[in-house]
Amino acid sequence: MGPVATEPTTEPTTPTSVALLRGINVGGRHLVAMTELAASFRDAGLGPARTFLQSGNVLLTAPRASGPELEEAIEALLAERFGFPVPTVVRSREELTATVAAAPPDHGSDALRSEVFFLKHPLTAREVLEQMPELREGVDAVAPGPGAVYFSRVAAQAGRTRIAALMGLPVFRRMTVRTWRTTTRLLALADEPLPG
């Protein structure tokens, strides 16, 4: 992929978007250094960029903040750079804000282990819920959100969850999962200037 033009600036830049990469640095496979990952975005004109954690979260600047075209462009540049496919979900800062705001009231509470399943365009929460296997009553809970499905399980009974049944379905390959803590931290980081 060729560079994506951005206007040079000396002003601090805040992120327009968050790229959520799937399947890197998991189980010793598809290992990517975060410095190299950030550099790949900068080299493609999607910088400055910043990574968060080792699981593939990139805060970036882009002429278009989200959408399937940007996801495809990022997937192409990562495949060229690292030599393997990296499914990518992109959310604009506004979209991430909406996802956090729409979460169930108890999502992220100490009594729960809470996650957000971010959906790759054009997958919808309704499609996911239609394919959702039967979960364990009294332990698991799911709810639809904008571009996402919220999943939580009672922390004290987390070992009894049935969510692994969803992870075995083909539709699961069209989403990427982040803990609630990571999700809210990414939103907070979206307000901070990116490194020059």
* DSSP-derived 3-state class of residue 48: coil
Three-class SS of residue 93? helix
pTM for this model (two decimals): 0.90
Using one digit for the tens of pLDDT, what is the confidence trace for 112-149?
999 999 999 999 999 999 999 999 999 999 999 999 99
| Structure confidence by residue, pLDDT tens digits, 134-143 | 999 999 999 9
Q: Which domains does the chain have, with CATH numbers?
A: 17-95 (3.30.70.1280), 97-186 (3.30.70.1260)
- Provide the pLDDT confidence category of residue 110 given band limits of 50, 70 and 90: very high
DSSP labels for 120-158? PTT--HHHHHHHPPPPPTTTEEEEEETTEEEEEEEGGGG
* 3-state secondary structure at position 45: coil
